[in-house]
Each structure stands twice: as C-alpha cells, then as structure tokens.
Amino acid sequence: MDYYIVIPAHNEEAFITLTLESLISQTLLPKKVVIVNDNSTDKTEEIVLAYAKEYPFITLVNKKSSAIHLPGSKVIQAFNTGLESLDDQYDIMMKADADLIFPTNYFETIINHFKSDSTIGMVGGFCYIEKKGEWVLENLTDKDHIRGALKAYRKATFKQIGGLKAQMGWDTVDELLCKFYNWKVITDASLHVKHLKPTGANYNKTARYKQGEAFYTLGYGFFITAIASAKLAMMKKRPLLFIDYIKGFWKAKTAKTPLLVTSEQAKFIRTYRLKKMKEKLFK
C-alpha cells in the first residue's frame, strides 16, 4: 500500500529536521511527502529544500497566510494546499505535524493494520512529550482517539468523510464521521511518537473560545458540551478553561454558526457520545 504524507509547517526550523530524519529512516518509506511552508520567516524552507534535493519523494509547497495561529483553520488550509499538489494514486493519506519523531517501524505498522481489515478507516499511534527528562504520554484525550498531529486515513474513508474541514473540531469530526459511515478507528499503544512542541503552546484566548464553538458545530448540544468542556479543562489541569469553552459554545449558538455535520449526523453524534459517557460511568 502506498502512503502520502502532507505536513503543514510554520517556523519549524528547530524541529523539522528531526521529523524528516525520522521519515527517511522508516522501514517502509512514503511514496510522497509534501511539506507546506506556511508563511515561515525562519529557515524552514531552506531545510526542506535540502532534503528534497536528496530525496525525490519529498517536495515543498509554499503558502502565504496569516501568522495568527488559530487551531483548525490555519493548519488544515495549509494541509489542503498540499493535498491539491498531489495526484490520486495513494492508498493511505496521512496528515502529520512538523514537530514529530516517528519510530522507524511506525508506517509499516500502520499499513499492516490497514491490510489486516478492509473496514479499518483510520489508524494512529500516541504522542509523547518530554517532562523532566522522560517521555510521557501527552494525555489530552481518550486512548481511542487519534491525535490531530498524526492522522492516517484509508483513501475510501478520506473521500467519504469529505477530507478535512478547515475549522476547529476537524480532528474530532473526522472520527465521528468514520463511526457514522461504519469505519473502524484503530489506535496502537505500541507506537510512541515524540511530540516536540506540546499541543496548544501558541493558542490564545480566542482559540480557547473556538473549542466551545467546535463543540457546537459538532452538534453536541449543551449537555454534552458541558461534560466535554469540564473533562477537557480538567485534563489540561486548567479548570477555568471550562468557562471559556461554554462562552464559545453560546457565542456560536447565538450567531447560528453553521454545523460541520448534517442534522442526521449530529443526531448520530449525540447518541454516540451519550453512549460512550454511560459506558465510562457504569463500567
């Protein structure tokens, strides 16, 4: 199975060499890797071009956009720019961040999962961050969720869910739509990926409101949003974020912000979320 990787990158000179080194060291090499240099002002472009000169499967695409980092929209707009530069001759599409170090067997293992079951739509490992000299799990989500930093999709799945939405919540709605269309989502705890820059390091208060907006656009409704907001705020060990999330939800609701999903999909998502909550409460 051939896999393509698209990597949005903005001022990643400190990390992208390590990411690219881990990619060229894979036991199963990618067919194509596209780095989208999104308005970088450092040496990101220079570093990528040096690798592209030596490794023909690596290419660079330049993109001009705002330097403001809002989660979701900026990174997926860059991803989609990279996607437009690719052909359709892939089996697996991967969106990756530019600050990751993959274990050498990462993609071979991912591909083996896809080969093992034709109903598997998404596969991913786990992100680890460095704390006090040790690499520990970046514990921001449930263990059955694939982090936005390292999403791999079967081609048919990627097409059916409509690709990636350039909006906060993209890395949740993709998995929920997989469930809606009866695709399996697989996480492999044996795959430890080093995440060199912790998630959300550059997010501001506007971005925090965006999380609440994302809960609204996913069709959660207030009850599920309140539970999800409380859980996320506690996982981040910042309880007051709960208020920002709720404010973001009501702001989106008041503005009648369009949903990321259809009414049928939103109903499925609410039912699915409530089911998962009950399972965890009574297990």
Q: Read off the pLDDT of residues 96-146 as tens digits, 9 standing for 90 and up.
A: 999 999 999 999 999 999 999 999 999 999 999 998 889 999 876 678 899
Q: Are residues 179 and 228 in the same domain?
A: no
Q: Are residues 149 and 16 in the same domain?
A: yes
- 10 and 132 in a single domain? The answer is yes
Distances (CA, A) of 29 to 20, 24, 26, 33: 12, 7, 5, 10
Considering its fold, how many domains does the chain have in total? 2
pLDDT at 203: 52
- Does residue 188 sit in the same domain as residue 162? yes
Same domain (yes/no): 143, 267:
no
Chosen domain end from 155, 173, 195: 195
- CA–CA distances in Å: residue 108 to residues 23, 27, 28, 148: 11, 6, 5, 20
Cα–Cα distances in angstroms (integers) from residue 39 to residues 13, 43, 68, 83, 186, in the given order: 13, 11, 11, 17, 34
**Boundary (domain end) residue, out of 195, 229, 257:** 195
Q: Give bridge partners of residue 95 from the DSSP assignment.
A: 6, 151
- Domain CATH for 88: 3.90.550.10
Average pLDDT for the chain? 91
**Based on the domain organization, do 19 and 153 belong to the same domain?**
yes
pTM: 0.89
**Is residue 26 within 8 Å of residue 107, measured between CB atoms?**
yes
Please give the radius of gyration of the chain, using alpha carbons only, rounded to the nearest integer.
18
Binning pLDDT at 50, 70 and 90, where does residue 278 land? confident
CA dist 54 → 46, 49, 130, 177, 241 (Å) = 13, 9, 31, 39, 46
Binning pLDDT at 50, 70 and 90, where does residue 199 land? low
> Residue 235: what pLDDT?
82
Q: Which residue has the tokens 């903005």?
A: 10
3-56 per-position pLDDT tens digit? 999 999 999 999 999 999 999 999 999 999 999 999 899 999 999 999 999 999
Same domain, 75 and 190: yes
Range of the domain at 224: 205-282
164 and 71, same domain (yes or no): yes
Helix 221-235 and helix 263-282: axis angle, to 10°?
A: 50
Q: Are residues 10 and 103 in the same domain?
A: yes
Give pLDDT, residue 139: 74
Closest CA to 86 of 7, 162, 183: 7
Tokens, residue 39: 């308005």
User: Do residues 153 and 83 make contact, with C-beta atoms less than 8 angstroms apart?
Assistant: no
Tokens of 259: 């949903």
- Residue at 140 is within a domain: yes
Domain boundary among 195, 216, 243: 195
CA angle (165 as vertex; 46, 182 as ends), nearest 5: 120
Same domain, 8 and 74: yes
Rounded-to-integer distance, Cα 188 and Cα 27, Å: 17
Give yes or no for residue 260 having a pLDDT over 70: yes
